[in-house]
Amino acid sequence: MALAELWRSYGVEPAAVIGHSMGEVAAAVCAGALDVADGARVIAVRARLLSGLSGGAMAVVDLDDVELRSLERDFPGVHVAVHTSPRQKVVTGEEAAVAGLVRRLEGQGRAARAMRVVGAGHSPQVDGLLPELVDALAGIRGRRPSVPVYSTVLDDPRGDCGFGADHWAANLRRPVRLDRALASAAADGHTAFVEISPHPVLTGAVADTVPGALALATLRRDADGSEAFAGQLGALYVAGQQLPVPHGRVIDLPLPRWRHVRHWWTDGRAHTEPVTEEPPAEVAEPSSVLARLTHHIAAVTGHPPTRVTPGTALAGLGLDSLMAVRVRTAVEREFGIALPLRDLFAAVTVEDAADRIRQALPREDTPLRPLRVTGSRPPLFLVHAAGGPVTVYRTLAERLGDDRPVYGLERIEEARTVPEKARRYAEAIDAAHPDGPCVLGGWSFGGFVAQETARHLTAAGREVRLVVLIDSVRPLPLPGLTRADRIRAHFQGFTRHVADTYGVRLELPYDDLVAMDDDGPRIDTVLRALREAADVPPAALEHQRASYLDLGIGESHRPGDHDGPVVLYRATEPAPHTVRDPAYERDDEALGWDEVCPRLEVVPVPGHHLSLLDPPHVDEIAAHLSRVLAERAP
C-alpha cells in the first residue's frame, strides 16, 4: 500500500488494479473497495489460519496449459494454485507429490523451483479453515470500487466481487487466475502494467501473457531504493505516461564529447584511424555486459536507453525476429562470441539475455562466479556439481547471511582430471583472494574437486579453514566387474530410464560403446540416439553429456590425504537417481571419506541426495555450517 501511494504521489494514478493471491486485498484497498483497517484484518486472519497448516508444499514450474490434463493424470495429488501465465504455474499439494513433479521437470531440463511455505494454499488442504475465516470476517462489507478491479478469483475477472467474507474465502481456496486477469485487462485496452512489490516477480508473466505490453517494476532487491524507483518512474514517462512536471529548474548540460574517429576503405581493406589533428577524447565505455547489451537493444529498437531496464521484457520492446538478428550480430561482434539466436529468443528480460551472454563469454582469467560478494568473513568457494551450474548454491549462499562472501567455481570443460581442475581452481582462488583463510566445498562431484583443491592450497601454505562435502559419495570398488561391464550396465540402466520417462525404447550399440576409448564420443553416440528417438530439450541433452563426463572424471580419481577439518552432510534417505549404480549405494556413515580425511565430522541430514540444497534441508545445513565456522573463527 505504501508503494502504491508512492506512485500516486508522483501523479501516477491506476487505470485499473489486479491483485495476485493475497495481493487482491491490497488491490481492493487501492481501488477504494475496502478500508485499510478491513484490509489489514483480512490479511491478519488469513495469516493466522494458514500458520496452523503443515505438510503441504508449493513449487513454481514451467508447464504449458496443454499439459494440465497430463498433470492431473500423472500427479493426482498436485493442484494448480496459480495460473501465472500460459507457460508457468505454481503447483501445490502434498510434499512428496510436488517434489516428484519438480524432479521430473528438472530431469527434462525445465525450470522448477520449490517454494518455502507453511502449508499448501489454494488447495483442498485449506478447506477446513474456510468456515472460521468466513466467521471471523463476517462484519466486513466491501463497496463498489472507484477504480476497476480485475479479480484473480472469479472465472470472469471483470465480475462483481463484493469483497465480503465469502470473497476472501474464495480468494484463499480457489486457484489464482492471474493469466485471465492480465488477458482481460489487455483486451480492454490496457498496455502498461506496473508491479507493486519490493522486487519484481510478475513482469515475466506479463510479457508471457500480454506480448507487447510495457511491464515495469517498482523496486529491486539489493538496489538503491530511491534510484531504482526513479528509474522506473522515468521509464514510464518516456513510454508516454503524462506526469506532472516536478519542482526544479532547467539547466544546460555539457555537450557530448566525440571520439572523432574516421572510417574509410582503401585497397579492399577497412581502416579505422583517429584524426591526426585532434586526439580522440577519453570516453568511458560501458563497464558491464548488461550496460553494453542495453545500448545495442536501444539502438536497434529505437527506444531511449532509459526505457530499457534490466527487468524490461524483451517482448515488451517489440523485439521481432529481424531486430533480434541485428542485436545478436552486434553482441557477437562486440564480445567475440557465438550466440545462438534461440538463446536470445528464449530470454524473457534484458537481464536474462545478459546472463546468457555472460555464460557464453570465454573464461579468460577465472571460473569464479559471485553468489554473494558482501561480508568480511573468510569466503566460501563452492565447486559445481557434475554437469551443473553453480547457481544451485544460491539458496545456501543466502542462508549463510550477508557477512559471508560466497563464490561458485564453474565447470572447466578442458580440464579432464580432478587434479587438473583443482589446480585451476586453486589459481583462481589465489587470484581473487590472495590473503587470509578460505572455506571450500561442493555438492556431490563438487566435493571431490573441493577436497583436492584444498590439498593444493594447503600444500602452497594457504589456510583452508574447512572443507564442506555435501553428500559426496566415493564409489565402491566392485570386484569381478570389468570396466566394460560397468559401461554396459550403466547404459542398460539409462535405456530403462528413457523408457520410463519418454515412453520410447532406445536401441544402443553396446559393443561399440564398450570398444570406444573416449568418454566424449561414447556419450555423444548415446545422446544422438536419444535425440532421434524422443523430443528431449537441448538443455537436458547438454546436462546429460556434461554430467556423464564429470562423473567419469570423478570415478577415476583417487583422493589423497587431507589433514584439515572436513564436514560431510550425509543424506539419510535413498537417492532417487536417474540411473541406479551399485557403486554409489554405500551404507557406511562416512561414505568412504574417513579413509583420507582423519578430521572428518559426519552430519546426517534427513533428506535425499537431490533435495539437500532445497528447503527445508538447506536451512539445516546452513545453520550447522554457520555454527561450525563461527567456532573455528579466531
Mean pLDDT for 43-71 is 88
pLDDT 10s digits, 303-313: 887 778 888 88
pTM above 0.85, yes or no: no
Q: Please tell me the predicted confidence (pLDDT) of residue 274.
A: 44
Q: Please tell me the predicted confidence (pLDDT) of residue 543.
A: 76
Q: Please tell me the predicted confidence (pLDDT) of residue 615.
A: 84
Show the cell assigned to 299. 539502438
pLDDT 10s digits, 452-469: 999 999 999 999 999 999
Q: Domains along the chain?
A: 13-53+121-190 (3.40.366.10), 54-120 (3.30.70.250), 191-238+288-362 (1.10.1200.10), 368-474+559-632 (3.40.50.1820), 483-555 (no CATH)
Three-state SS sequence of 565-634? CEEEEEECCCCCCCCCCHHHCCCCCCCCHHHCCCCEEEEEECCCHHHCCCCCHHHHHHHHHHHHHHHHCC
> Closest Cα to residue 126, out of 71, 165, 170?
170
Cα 298 to chain center, whole Å? 26
Q: Which residue shows C-alpha cell 495476485?
A: 20
> Closest Cα to residue 86, out of 70, 68, 112?
68
Show the cell assigned to 253. 548540460
Q: Please tell me the predicted confidence (pLDDT) of residue 276.
A: 40
Q: How confident is the model at residue 280 (pLDDT cuts 50, 70, 90)?
A: very low
Residues 6+ apart with CB under 8 A from 527: 541, 544, 545
**Calpha distance 177→27 (Å, rounded):** 15
Buried b / exposed e over 589-620, threshold 16 CB at 10 Å, is ebbbbeebbeebebeebebbbbbbbbeebbeb
Burial of 437 (0-12, 13-18, 19+ CB in 10 A): middle
Is pLDDT above 70 for 269? no
Amino acid (one-letter) located at 377: R
Three-state SS sequence of 49-109? HHCCCCCEEEEEEECCHHHHHHHHHHCCCEEEEEEEECCEEEEEEEHHHHHHHHHHHHHCC
**Calpha distance 405→393 (Å, rounded):** 12
Is pLDDT above 70 for 141? yes
Number of other residues whose CB lies within 10 A of the CB of residue 480 = 5
DSSP H or E run through 179: helix 178-187
Q: Answer with the residue of higher pLDDT: 585 or 273.
A: 585
Number of other residues whose CB lies within 10 A of the CB of residue 105 = 17
Q: Answer with the residue of higher pLDDT: 6 or 260.
A: 6
> Closest Cα to residue 612, out of 93, 99, 94?
99
Q: Which residue shows C-alpha cell 574437486?
A: 449
pLDDT 10s digits, 314-334: 877 877 666 787 888 888 777
DSSP H or E run through 264: strand 261-266
pLDDT 10s digits, 526-558: 888 888 888 776 667 777 888 888 888 888 899
Amino acid (one-letter) located at 420: E
Q: Please tell me the predicted confidence (pLDDT) of residue 248.
A: 82
DSSP H or E run through 9: helix 2-9
Percent residues over pLDDT 70 in the chain: 91
Q: Please tell me the predicted confidence (pLDDT) of residue 263.
A: 61
**Calpha distance 278→259 (Å, rounded):** 9
Which residues is 266 bridged to in the sheet?
A: 269
Q: Which residue shows C-alpha cell 516428484?
A: 100
Q: Please tell me the predicted confidence (pLDDT) of residue 279.
A: 33
Cα 101 to chain center, whole Å? 17
Is pLDDT above 80 for 297? yes
Q: Please tell me the predicted confidence (pLDDT) of residue 396.
A: 93
3-state DSSP: the chain helix, strand, coil percent, rounded to 5?
Answer: 45, 15, 40
Residues 6+ apart with CB under 8 A from 516: 522, 525
Q: Are 421 and 412 in contact (CB under 8 A)?
A: yes
The mean predicted confidence, pLDDT, of the chain is: 85
pLDDT 10s digits, 400-415: 988 899 999 998 888 8
**Calpha distance 135→148 (Å, rounded):** 28
Is pLDDT above 80 for 216? yes
List phi, psi (to 5°) of 196. Answer: -95, 100
Number of other residues whose CB lies within 10 A of the CB of residue 302 = 10
pLDDT 10s digits, 362-371: 654 478 888 8
Q: Answer with the residue of higher pLDDT: 621 or 305.
A: 621
Amino acid (one-letter) located at 609: H
Mean pLDDT for 1-6 is 95
Q: Are 464 and 430 in contact (CB under 8 A)?
A: no
**Calpha distance 7→621 (Å, rounded):** 41
pLDDT 10s digits, 339-361: 777 777 778 888 888 888 877 77
Q: Please tell me the predicted confidence (pLDDT) of residue 519.
A: 84
Is pLDDT above 80 for 447? yes
